[in-house]
Structure 1
Amino acid sequence: MPSFAKFIAIASLGALLSACSLFEFPGVHRIEVQQGNIVTQEMVDQLKPGMTRRQVRFVLGTPLVEDTFKPNRWDYINRVRDPEGEVTQKRFTVYFNGDILIATSGDWQPTGWP
């Protein structure tokens, strides 16, 4: 029976240490976590009114959200969590009329648009 009690004690201690978030262990490396689309101002500046969906997809990549109920809108969302746990989110949306790019909105704006 003593070995069983020792096993229970070790298992309990392990569960307690792994579940407890009160302790911060020194030297733990936290990384920046990036989710979604990477969109830069340089990419947005390449957009021109009248571009086709295929051309926009070539410049910006595949959109994170292609809503079935709003087929003329693509959403590009970028979310970053830094090592301290702070989250920043940026959004960029392009609008089409059929297959033609007509407008954009969000955290970036193309230069030279009317």
Structure 2
Amino acid sequence: MPLLRHVTAWLALSLTACSWDWLPFVYKQDIHQGNVITQEMVDQLRPGMSKRQVSYIMGAPLMVDPFHDERWDYVYSNQPGDEPRVQKNITLIFRGDDLAELQGDFRPGTLPAIEMKKDSTLTVPPIQREKTVWQMITGLFGADDE
């Protein structure tokens, strides 16, 4: 009986210290790190875009070199489950405030330049809201803001 206790204790300790990687059908969560970079995002970039426009499309850069303010680095790393880790990066070079060149794992696509219509207008209808409690109280005393 003491031998059975020793074997059971030894098995319990050895199994808790082991990783469960060798077991089949064990779920492994995908690990995403850095800025998500897609080809669609890179296709929207155009030479001459301002830093603000680039930041709207790509998000804030993961790394900004304090010695080279004209260079933005985006890095994306993904390790899906048991598969090997995939890392993609793109470096954007600016001249002043304008985008000058792209370097890295992505290449701009062949999308045509987007032309904005200058004569289009948008009319937003006013929102009809109910009065708040404060507006109703002040309305009793004749202090309506409307």
1:30 counterpart SS class: coil
Mapped partners of 2:21, 2:50: distance in 1: 53
* Residue 32 of structure 2: aligned partner: 34
Alignment of 1:39-50 (within 5 A): 39-50=37-48
Mapped partners of 1:43, 1:106: distance in 2: 14
Mapped partners of 1:59, 1:27: distance in 2: 38
2:101 counterpart SS class: strand
Runs of 5+ consecutive residues of structure 1 not aligned to the other structure: 1-5
* Residue 79 of structure 2: aligned partner: 81
CA-based RMSD of the aligned residues comes to 2.2
* Residue 63 of structure 1: aligned partner: 61
Runs of 5+ consecutive residues of structure 2 not aligned to the other structure: 111-146
Mapped partners of 2:67, 2:97: distance in 1: 16
Following TM superposition, the consecutive aligned residue runs of length 4 or more in structure 1 with deviations greater than 3 angstroms are 12-16
Mapped partners of 2:56, 2:20: distance in 1: 47
- Give 1 or 2 for the bigger CA radius of gyration: 2
What residue identity is the alignment partner of 1:45? D
Larger mean Cα displacement after TM superposition, 82-91 or 55-64: 82-91
What residue identity is the alignment partner of 1:111? G
Mapped partners of 2:58, 2:21: distance in 1: 42
* Residue 3 of structure 1: aligned partner: none
1:59 counterpart SS class: helix
Taking structure 1 as the reference length, the TM-score comes to 0.77
CA drift of 1:90 comes to: 0.6
CA drift of 1:19 comes to: 2.1
Q: Which has the higher contact order (CA 8 A, sep 6+)?
A: 1
Larger mean Cα displacement after TM superposition, 20-29 or 51-60: 20-29
Work out the number of aligned pairs and report it.
104
Identity of aligned residues (%): 41
